[in-house]
């Protein structure tokens, strides 16, 4: 039997409503952890691609053809290593998501749970200490000083230790930042960081907590073990 245009229209409307409700239901069941991990992975890969192209462009300005070629090859190799790091971090995030589940992660911050005594074996920050790392890179000779100051700052009610981080390449300052950290007094907790490097966006367990996050909202961005060998 042929259906009238009105009947067909009503059936179509009913289907549209069902589909619409289904879409809203799907949106309500978004896997926040997986979505965050996926976008962090995409961001990491995009950053590596950008850095690699920039490095190759700098290499092209070397008047020595052999040196320029070697520089470009090193830039490509460094990019390959960085992409593998992105994959490793993504696998780590996905593993944590399997444990935490799909719900959005936004724990409450209780200032009473934190201390400025940061003695995490993986990330000790005793005031007055300066960590120095340096070496030859594609960009030139890199010198980084990570100074743990005696200054503090209160963020979200938590008193944090200030760290001054300066990165130089061939004597020129390319990065000059101040970050703030505190340590949880409990065995393990979430943490946030002001850093924008890939290591600050890895999902790991940590009792050392950065007090400012690059992520939207108050949620933590980084985790590391509170003690060597812990899970």
Q: How confident is the model at residue 6 (pLDDT cuts 50, 70, 90)?
A: very low
**Residue-wise DSSP of 127-175:** TT-EEEEEEEETTEEEEEEEEEEEEEEEETTEEEEEEEEEEEETTEEEE
pLDDT at 128 over 90: yes
- pTM exceeding the 0.85 threshold for the entire prediction: no
Rounded to an integer, what distance in angstroms lies between the CA atom of residue 73 and that of residue 23?
A: 48
Average pLDDT on 9-13 reads 41
Average pLDDT, the chain: 74
Which class for 211: exposed (0-12), middle (13-18), buried (19 or more C-beta within 10 A)?
Answer: buried
Average pLDDT on 161-186 reads 89
Distance of CA 105 to the CA centre of its chain: 15
């Amino acid at each position: 039997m042929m259906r009238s245009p009105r009947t067909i229209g009503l059936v179509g409307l009913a289907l549209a409503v069902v589909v619409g409700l289904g879409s809203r239901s799907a949106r309500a069941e978004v896997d926040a952890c997986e979505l965050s991990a996926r976008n962090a992975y995409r961001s990491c890969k995009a950053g590596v691609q950008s850095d690699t192209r920039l490095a190759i462009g700098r290499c092209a300005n070397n008047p020595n053809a052999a040196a320029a070629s070697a520089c470009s090859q090193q830039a490509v190799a460094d990019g390959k290593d960085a992409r593998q790091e992105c994959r490793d971090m993504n696998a780590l995030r996905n593993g944590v998501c399997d444990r935490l589940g799909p719900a959005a992660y936004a724990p409450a911050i209780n200032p009473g749970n934190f201390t400025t005594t940061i003695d995490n074996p993986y990330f000790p920050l005793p005031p007055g200490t300066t960590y120095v790392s340096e070496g030859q890179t594609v960009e030139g000779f890199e010198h980084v000083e990570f100074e743990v100051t005696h200054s503090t700052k209160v963020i979200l009610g938590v008193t944090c230790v200030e760290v001054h981080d300066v990165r130089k390449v061939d004597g020129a300052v390319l990065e000059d930042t101040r970050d703030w950290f505190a340590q949880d007094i409990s065995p393990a907790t979430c943490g946030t960081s002001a850093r924008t490097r890939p290591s600050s966006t890895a999902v790991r367990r940590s009792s050392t907590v950065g007090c400012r996050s690059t992520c939207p909202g108050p949620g933590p961005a980084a985790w590391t073990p509170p003690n060597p060998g812990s899970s």
